[in-house]
Structure 1
Amino acid sequence: MKLIKILILFFFANYCLAQKQFEVYFDFNKDFPNENSILEFNEWKTSVKISEVFKLEGYCDSVDTKNYNKKLAERRIESIIKLLKSSAVLLNKDLKKIAFGKDFERSPNQDENRKVIIYYNEVQAENPKSELYEKIKNAKVGENIKLPNIYFYNNSARTVPKSKTTMYDLLCVMEENPKLKIEIQGHICCQIDTDINDISTARAKAIYNFLIRNKIDRNRMTYKGYGTTKPVHKIPEKNETEADENRRVEIMIVEN
Structure 2
Amino acid sequence: MKTIAFLILGFFTSICFAQKQFEVFFDFNKDFPNQQSILDFNGWKATSNINEVIRIEGYCDSVDTKNYNKKLAERRIESVLKLLKSSSVAITKDIKKIAVGKDFEQSQVQEENRKVIIYYTEPSLEKPRSVLYESIKNAKVGERIKLSNIYFYNNSARTVSKSQTTLYDLLCVMEDNPKLKIEIQGHICCQIETDINDVSTARAKAIYNFLIRNKIDRTRMSYKGFGTTRPIYPIPEKNEIEANENRRVEIMIVEN
TM-score range, shorter chain: 0.5 to 0.7
Q: Distance in 1 between matches of 2:216 and 2:38?
A: 29
Would the aligned equivalents of 2:19 and 2:119 in 1 still touch at CA under 8 Å? no
Compare 173-182 and 124-133 and name the one that shifted more.
124-133
Would the aligned equivalents of 1:56 and 1:98 in 2 still touch at CA under 8 Å? no
Compare 40-49 and 82-91 and name the one that shifted more.
40-49
Would the aligned equivalents of 2:47 and 2:168 in 1 still touch at CA under 8 Å? no
Shift of 1:151: 1.5
1:178 aligns with 2:181: no
Look up the match of 2:148.
148
1:253 aligns with 2:256: no
Shift of 1:81: 4.3
Shift of 1:205: 1.1
Structure number with the higher helix fraction is 1
Q: What is the number of residues matched between the two proteins?
A: 237
1:222 aligns with 2:222: yes
Is the partner of 1:182 in helix, strand or coil?
strand
Would the aligned equivalents of 1:53 and 1:95 in 2 still touch at CA under 8 Å? no
1:64-110 deviation digits (Å, cap 9, x = unpaired) = xx76xx9xx877775554444456763852345769xxx7477xxxx
Q: Distance in 2 between matches of 1:139 and 1:43?
A: 26
Look up the match of 1:93.
96
Is the partner of 1:165 in helix, strand or coil?
helix
Which of 7, 11, 18 is the equivalent residue of 2:13? Answer: 7
- Taking a change above 3 Å as real, the CA distance of residues 132 and 142 of structure 1, as seen in their structure-2 partners, is same
* Amino acid corresponding to residue 250 of structure 1 in structure 2: E
Look up the match of 1:209.
209
Shift of 1:251: 0.6
Is the partner of 1:254 in helix, strand or coil?
strand
Compare 82-91 and 136-145 and name the one that shifted more.
82-91
Q: Distance in 2 between matches of 1:35 and 1:133?
A: 27
Q: Distance in 1 between matches of 2:193 and 2:134?
A: 36
Q: Unaligned 5+ residue runs, structure 1? A: 60-65, 107-114
Q: Distance in 2 between matches of 1:222 and 1:193?
A: 26
Would the aligned equivalents of 2:40 and 2:164 in 1 still touch at CA under 8 Å? no
Compare 150-159 and 133-142 and name the one that shifted more.
150-159
- Taking a change above 3 Å as real, the CA distance of residues 94 and 33 of structure 1, as seen in their structure-2 partners, is closer
Q: Distance in 2 between matches of 1:16 and 1:164?
A: 22
Is the partner of 1:134 in helix, strand or coil?
helix
Percent identity at matched positions? Answer: 62
TM-score when normalising by structure 2: 0.68
- Taking a change above 3 Å as real, the CA distance of residues 128 and 53 of structure 1, as seen in their structure-2 partners, is same
Is the partner of 2:189 in helix, strand or coil?
coil
Compare 34-43 and 224-233 and name the one that shifted more.
34-43
1:19 aligns with 2:21: yes
- Taking a change above 3 Å as real, the CA distance of residues 252 and 210 of structure 1, as seen in their structure-2 partners, is same
Q: Distance in 2 between matches of 1:252 and 1:227?
A: 16
Q: How does 1:15-164 map to 2 (within 5 A)?
A: 16-21=18-23, 49-50=49-50, 51-52=52-53, 79-85=79-85, 90=91, 92-95=95-98, 104=109, 119=118, 121=120, 123=122, 126-164=126-164
Give RMSD over aligned pairs: 4.4
Shift of 1:162: 2.2
Shift of 1:253: 0.8
TM-score when normalising by structure 1: 0.68
1:223-256 deviation digits (Å, cap 9, x = unpaired) = 1011111111222222222222111111111111
- Taking a change above 3 Å as real, the CA distance of residues 155 and 145 of structure 1, as seen in their structure-2 partners, is same
Compare 157-166 and 120-129 and name the one that shifted more.
120-129
- Taking a change above 3 Å as real, the CA distance of residues 76 and 185 of structure 1, as seen in their structure-2 partners, is same
Is the partner of 1:232 in helix, strand or coil?
coil
Q: Distance in 2 between matches of 1:215 and 1:126?
A: 22
Is the partner of 1:209 in helix, strand or coil?
helix
- Taking a change above 3 Å as real, the CA distance of residues 145 and 94 of structure 1, as seen in their structure-2 partners, is same
Would the aligned equivalents of 1:183 and 1:222 in 2 still touch at CA under 8 Å? yes
Compare 49-58 and 169-178 and name the one that shifted more.
49-58
